[in-house]
A and B are shown apart, each in its own frame.
Chain A
Amino acid sequence: MEFLTAALSSDILAGLTEFSQSALFVARGTGYTVALILGAMILGLALGLPLSTFEVYGAGWLRKITWVYVWFFRGIPILVLLFLIYFGVFDIIESTVYKLFETRISLTPFTASVIALGLASAAYQSQIFKGAILSLPAGQFQAARALGFSRSQAIIHIILPQAMRLSIPAWSNEYSILLKDSAVAYVLGTMEIMARTRFMTSTTFAHIRLYLLAGLLYYLLTWLGVKVLFKIEAKTRIPGLGHDAWRADDQLVLKKRDLF
């Protein structure tokens, strides 16, 4: 125990002021991490919603395309996806733009990270929404059609508003997964929490304290995000919406998995 406290209180080269400075530097990465996750979640939502409706209501070929998308982006590691987009795809985009317009553009690691995390999240979110849509009684769609709604009107105005509310518990799970995946983006040099920690440990050698700090920041962010989503769910709650059992079950899962 004595050794542990020793490790915590004084790493070999790190003085107290130096540590607080580097801790501040690391903590400032929180903004990047949050921006990264928000960007990825919004991109994932924007793609995941249509994907889920394609999968449930789409024509055969549309469903096949959706299936391939989900299979691909759920099956490859986030790390490989980051490399693939930043080094592979961005390179091609940059050189094509140069050939066509003779201007150099440079796409940032941050953009690559948002796109990679967002594309992967879209695959997961589409499955969340799909589950929610399928859990709605078939009569909802039928009643809308009987009133004269077109297919797309019925989906947009009747089905999706219900499905999205039902998805909030599963969404908070997705948030905590994204948060942890966002740390991988440091490999591209996106200056979020993890990248800053690695950078600081390489100069100050205060490894243990800085990693513990990073871990603590991630832990707090998870806790905070789940709390916010809980609030949103309570705010948008509609009495008796959806199958009560399904909801109750999911909230149990939420409590266990995300509040630890």
Chain B
Amino acid sequence: MSAQPLLEVSHVSRIIDGKTILDDVSLSLGRGELKVIIGPSGGGKSTLLQCVNFLQPPDSGDVFLDGQSAREMSRQNICAFRQKIGMIFQDFNLFDHLCARDNVAIALQKVKGQKKALARQRAMAELERVGLVEQAHLYPSQLSGGQKQRVSLARALAMDPMVMLLDEPTSALDPELIGEVLNVIAQLSRSGMTMLMVTHQIGFARHLTKEIIFMEAGRVVETGPPELLEGGPEGGRAAAFCAKLAEVTGR
């Protein structure tokens, strides 16, 4: 069982307008694992996540979820495949015309075909998990950034995903709101959720993950345990990047 990874990204490349955005990227995630991708912006991290759930189909390479090849799937199956992969965006992308509860419920109703009452019940349960029952009737514009990101976590979790992709979930948040979102993510990880996360929160990453993936210019440059990030400017590329980041943020 542990022999087969839950999610396997295999030799994925992506070329947009003649520019190579992703260059032969491979990685794998075992059940319950959390891996963190770091690296300078423009390094292809977001594109990689969007290739994983085929929002941007890779130009070559493949993605396997639980051993099933995404490339061989029909269009309909791709939609089912995406249901099993929860995605969290940097700028939340909550549906602006729906209140928090309905943001969580709509995919249950329309994609999974659940009855309205059942979907809403489930939505409330998920909102409770992220601590937002009180805000269920509020519209996205009435929520703080941290609350928005927690709703979007609830929205993804309601679909019972096997894997979660998190694309810089705290980058658009004010510093004092980052904590509440990271708490939910840490809780999720401890409860056994498989996650692939792009982040600049080095401290957080170091704390929770066993493996760091450092990406630069569309390639995976280094992979290793969190200690990879230590050693300052004289260490590896990842360590140098980390040192630079620390210099900028003053930590």
Q: Chain A interface (Cβ within 8 Å of chain B)? A: 136-137, 139-140, 142-150, 153, 157-158, 161-162, 165, 238-242
A143 and B96 in contact (CB under 8 A), knowing A239-B141, A241-B141? no
Chain B residues contacting A161 (CB-CB under 8 Å) are: 97
Contact A148 B159 (CB under 8 A): yes
Chain A residues contacting B139 (CB-CB under 8 Å) are: 238-241
Chain A residues contacting B155 (CB-CB under 8 Å) are: 147
Contact B55 A148 (CB under 8 A): no
Looking at chain B, what size class is its interface with the partner chain?
A: 20 to 34
Chain B residues 72 to 89 lying within 8 A of chain A, measured CB to CB, are 75-76, 79-80, 82-83, 85, 87, 89
11 inter-chain pairs at a CB distance below 8 angstroms, sorted by A residue, are: A136-B96, A140-B96, A142-B93, A147-B155, A148-B111, A157-B110, A162-B97, A165-B97, A238-B96, A240-B140, A240-B142
Chain A residues contacting B85 (CB-CB under 8 Å) are: 146
Q: Provide the bound-state CA to CA distance between A188 and B214, in Å.
A: 74
Chain B residues contacting A239 (CB-CB under 8 Å) are: 139, 141-142
Q: Mark B153-178, 1 if CB is under 8 A from A, else 0.
A: 00110010000000000000000000
B91 at the interface (CB under 8 A from A): yes
Pick the residue among B76, B95, B159 that contacts A140 (CB under 8 A): B95
A148 and B93 in contact (CB under 8 A), knowing A240-B140, A241-B141? no
Contact B141 A143 (CB under 8 A): no
A148 and B96 in contact (CB under 8 A), knowing A143-B89, A240-B140, A240-B141? no
Please, which residue of chain B has its CB at the minimum distance from the CB of A139? Answer: B93
A59 to chain B, nearest CB (A): 14
B107 at the interface (CB under 8 A from A): yes
Q: Provide the bound-state CA to CA distance between A179 and B140, in Å.
A: 37
Q: Provide the bound-state CA to CA distance between A161 and B106, in Å.
A: 13
B196 to chain A, nearest CB (A): 14
A241 and B91 in contact (CB under 8 A), knowing A147-B83, A148-B83? no
B53 at the interface (CB under 8 A from A): yes
Q: Provide the bound-state CA to CA distance between A239 and B79, in Å.
A: 31
Chain B residues contacting A137 (CB-CB under 8 Å) are: 93
B94 to chain A, nearest CB (A): 8
A145 and B141 in contact (CB under 8 A), knowing A150-B76, A165-B97? no
